[in-house]
Amino acid sequence: MKKIIIFTAIISLFWSCNEDFLQEESLDQLTSESAFITYEDFNASVSNLYYLVRRQYFNRDENRPFDFLYGTDIVYDGENNGSQRHSRMEAAYDPSGQIATVHWNLLYKTISEANTVINRVGSSNLTDEQAIDILSQARFFRAFSYRSLVYLYGDVPLITEEITAPKVDFTRQPKSQVLDQIIEDFDYASKNLPKIAEAQDGKLNNLVAYHYLAETYISTGKNTEAITAASVVINDPATDLMKRGTRFGSRANEPGNIYWDLFRTNNQNRTSGNTEGLWVIQFELDVLGGGLQSGSKGGSYMLERHHGPLIRDVRLIDPADNRRRPPFNWPVGDYSGGRGIGWMISTTYFSNTIWGGDSSNPDFVNDIRNSNENFVREYVANRAPFEAEIVSTENPQEGYTVPSRAIYAYQTKATTPFNHPDGLYNNSDTFSLSAAAGGTYTDQYMLRLAETYLLRAEAYLADSNPGLAAQDINVIRDRANASPVSPGDVTIDYILDERMRELGLEEKRRLTLMRLGLLYDRVSRFNPYYVEQGMKETYNLWPIPANEIERNRGAVLKQNPGYPGAE
């Protein structure tokens, strides 16, 4: 009986209390309301925006960063198994496939986080200076993500507010409207981000925003504005192309040239003396969250793995017994491509045509970007009985075809010859690599000043001034020791070829071609492999992901023409 009386008293106590007693008050937990108060809170979220960019374009997983290279005019697939390889185009670009879906999701995730940061600044305790710092970065990342979305998908939902409740009625806004928002955000960022001389390595600066503002102006036909914005970048006293005839950085005492120096370990940031890098994506070795591990390719940008040839499979005739034997030990961290597996094969257009065809053309020989240190065509055998024998992509020995997965001309910016992390060597004396190799162990350029020159040349050409366009192109070509181009020869095709020569695999080539609406045109003319695999004009845009259309129950999210489900 006593127990019942006590229980009843306790119940009565609860019922007699005000209902506010039942309301939870979080005193020490992280919630959406308490997460954006201090400058440190906002910086944590902005840091995640940097991470999301690196994740998407450089180390999302084994394949997705390379969606910006495969399926274009620059390379083709050496391995075509699986429905998500670009060589199987109909399956690869299906609305339910990973390629279109993964990038859509990552881009909108970045936009969502940027919108949250932007919308929460007003209710924070940030100073005016701190608020501008946070807003300029967040608005840049929002614009940068919408930039990729409109180039890849065309008309897309435009979301500029934080979404705090379920929403299933998105509609696609015209590309022109999205571009206007991109201009507004890049313009704000260009006026408020720190100057490049004041910005920390890897962080955004005003010149990066001005470059992409110029690019967006071109996309809207505002060529004069594009020229003005690009000129701010080029004329900044803190920037300049690294000069031919000089050397710099960590390996300046080795054979090579200034172009080779640009891609060596620790040479990308301004602290190395590099005045050309405008936005450098940071990778740190054996640092939590840094991406690079001294004993693994995991987390790295696996460009070596994709673009390095599978030199292991080359065979030469041994004159002693007329039998075919491998002339290379593999994998070796030298100029044979590291632990490449021959998935990303250079097109003949990329490796030969744009340089003048072959060694009979002066530019093929004189252009430093095409030297063997930068674009390997002569491989030095390292296995008995063929030591020191030259295996050439231009004059291949009998018995195999060039290009093939085993051997082709490849760019050394994909790898770090004689400079892999110590933990990846089975034998550091012979540079023999372990099976864990395959990453590219350097910081990565998102943007170099050379690209701004080529972008301004594009704006000059569109503004009917091929003379000034030629001048900008020739700044690049002079640094490369290549012959100058005449104004009458400057076309959009020539500029795209020069982007190939100068930017090669570092450019997100798909974005450039889809921005100009020329993906189908260039692939059809210069990459016969993808023509055979069914290249269609439809692929000038990716499809809207099927799962986005299906779960958008409150409105119609239209599919792009030519894809399943399109009207």
Place of tokens 């704000």: 188
Who contacts 487 (Cβ-Cβ below 8 Å, separation ≥6)? 466, 467, 469, 470
Residues 405-422: pLDDT tens digits? 999 999 999 999 999 999
Q: What is the pLDDT of residue 299?
A: 86
Q: What is the pLDDT of residue 33?
A: 60
Residues 274-295: pLDDT tens digits? 999 999 999 998 898 888 889 9
pLDDT of 18 higher than 70? no
| 301 DSSP assignment | B
pLDDT of 241 higher than 70? yes
The domains located in the chain, with CATH, are 36-191+510-567 (1.25.40.390), 193-280+443-490 (1.25.40.10), 291-440 (no CATH)
Residues 481-530: pLDDT tens digits? 999 999 999 999 999 999 999 999 999 999 999 999 999 999 999 999 99
What is the band of 32 on the pLDDT scale with cuts at 50, 70, 90? low
Place of tokens 């300029």: 136
Q: What is the pLDDT of residue 245?
A: 93
Long-range pairs for 162-170: beta carbons < 8 A, 24 or more residues apart: 162/112, 162/115, 162/116, 162/118, 162/119, 162/120, 163/112, 163/115, 164/32, 167/554, 168/551, 168/552, 168/553, 168/554, 168/555, 169/552, 169/553, 169/554, 169/555, 170/548, 170/552, 170/555, 170/557
Q: What is the pLDDT of residue 249?
A: 96
Residue (of 405, 503, 492, 406) closest to 450 by Cα position = 503
Q: Which two tokens stand for residue 378?
A: 């002569």
Q: What interhelical angle do 466-479 and 449-462 show, nearest 10?
A: 160
Residues 186-240: pLDDT tens digits? 999 999 999 999 999 999 999 999 999 999 999 999 999 999 999 999 999 999 9
Q: What are phi and psi of 278, to 5 degrees?
A: -100, -40
Q: What is the pLDDT of residue 35?
A: 77
3-class DSSP assignment, residue 383: coil
Which sign, positive or negative, has the C-alpha torsion 24, 25, 31, 32?
Answer: positive
What is the band of 13 on the pLDDT scale with cuts at 50, 70, 90? very low
Q: What is the pLDDT of residue 246?
A: 95
Q: What is the pLDDT of residue 335?
A: 97
Q: How large is the C-alpha radius of gyration of the chain?
A: 27
Beta-bridged to residue 127, according to DSSP, are none
Give the residue-averaged pLDDT of 92-109.
96
Tell me the C-alpha distance between 175 and 129, whole Å.
33
What is the band of 10 on the pLDDT scale with cuts at 50, 70, 90? very low
